[in-house]
Homo-oligomer: A and B are copies of this chain.
Amino acid sequence: MSDFADYGYDICRSGRPPALPANLTQLDELAARQMTAEAYGYVAGGAGTEATMRANREAFDRRRLVPRVLRDVSAPDLSVELFAPTGFATRVPAPVLLGPVGVLATVHPDGELAVARAAAAVGVPLVLSLAASHSIEEVAAASGGGTRWCQFYLPADRELGVSLLARARAAGYGAIMVTLDAVTTGWRPRDLDNAYLPFLQGAGVASYVSDPVFQRAAGGPVLSWDDAMTLMANDRTFGWRDLAFIREHWEGPVLLKGILHPDDARRAADSGVDGIVVSNHGGRQVDGAIATLDALPAVVDAVGDRLTVLLDSGVRTGADVVKALVLGARAVLIARPYAFGLALDGQDGVEHVVRCLLAETQLTMILAGVSRASDLAGSGLVAAALCSPAHRGE
């Protein structure tokens, strides 16, 4: 079993300051200075006034841990089991995954390939974006023996969807994560002020243009990106009934990403999916959406025992990971932190980010008196909230 907490001790013993800071909330500012304005705006920006982005962070900051003492923490174990309620039990070494981020070639030439290598090196799963700059197969090759999952949007062209799923399965992706909260792109002032949409420049279409169904539909290589986006477009009529179609073409675990309301979580459980991700897309879609950590408890109450609940949007520190797990998430996904790590230091930067996060997670867990990450939910560790929003309507 890896002792993730060694990372910090090794830094101090080396006497060499690390290339990137150990406080991952400082990466954003560093990245802003180094990335192009367009790439930084795309990665760091959110919808509207970015209120949801701030809310995501505040929801973590408002929670308090109440550590316990004099418990044996000599054998810490960060691993957690996913998908047990639905029969696909899988153990991952730590409760952290790298969530899907598109067009990473705009951030670093190696893009998703560097991320896949870093994820495999540290031992955390990568969820590949369908809007990646490298194709499903290229990233699988870079990932090697690493655990990988694949994001999925339901395209209006169902045949294209079938083809993408078949390729993901063939390339060793273990689960698919269906993004529900992006039937259209949100209002993102930073991109608009730059008149920048990376998809319009073909930066995130590698998995599409390499697809035989897409190629046939396009009818040739000289396709404008404007036209290509029509082919790639999501189905805006996508509804609960269409989950059967996905299940028909995918044998492994299916997760739905972008659920915030407990009624949608119940519907997801009724539909037989294996997991959901409580997510507001990192605050990039609906400005003013509820913070994911504020939404989590009601969702866990509703379906926590019927399927696997994950969470993303705003996770920056090991304390955040612990809080999310105490409140019922089985694991969390991070996105911007590793994208900034990639921008600042390539594969090494991604590894640093993940190692810092896991080290702090393990230290926080031990110091809170808990040995196993899987014991955080329902443990004697209590998270108290300061001024939580009520869930009732007005």
Residues of A within 8 A of B (CB): 5, 8-9, 11-18, 21-23, 25-26, 47-49, 51, 55, 60-61, 63-74, 180-189, 191-197, 200, 226, 236-240, 242-243, 256, 258-261, 263-264, 267, 280, 285-291, 294-295, 297, 316-320, 322-323, 327, 356, 359-360, 363-364, 366-368, 380, 382-394
Asked whether, in the complex, the Cβ of A290 is within 8 Å of the Cβ of B384, the reply is: yes
Nearest Cβ distance between residue A240 and chain B, in whole angstroms? 5
Asked whether, in the complex, the Cβ of B193 is within 8 Å of the Cβ of A363, the reply is: no
A293 — nearest CB in chain B belongs to which residue? B394
List residues of chain B with CB within 8 A of the CB of A14: 195
Bound-state Cα–Cα, A304 to B105, Å: 52
List residues of chain B with CB within 8 A of the CB of A318: 48, 187, 287
Nearest Cβ distance between residue A318 and chain B, in whole angstroms? 6
Q: How many copies of the shown chain assemble into the complex? A: 4
List residues of chain B with CB within 8 A of the CB of A240: 70
List residues of chain B with CB within 8 A of the CB of A26: 189
Bound-state Cα–Cα, A191 to B13, Å: 11
Bound-state Cα–Cα, A389 to B59, Å: 13
One of B69, B195, B243 near A12 (C-beta < 8 A): B195
Asked whether, in the complex, the Cβ of B387 is within 8 Å of the Cβ of A382, the reply is: no
Asked whether, in the complex, the Cβ of B236 is within 8 Å of the Cβ of A380, the reply is: no
List residues of chain B with CB within 8 A of the CB of A287: 317-319, 360, 364
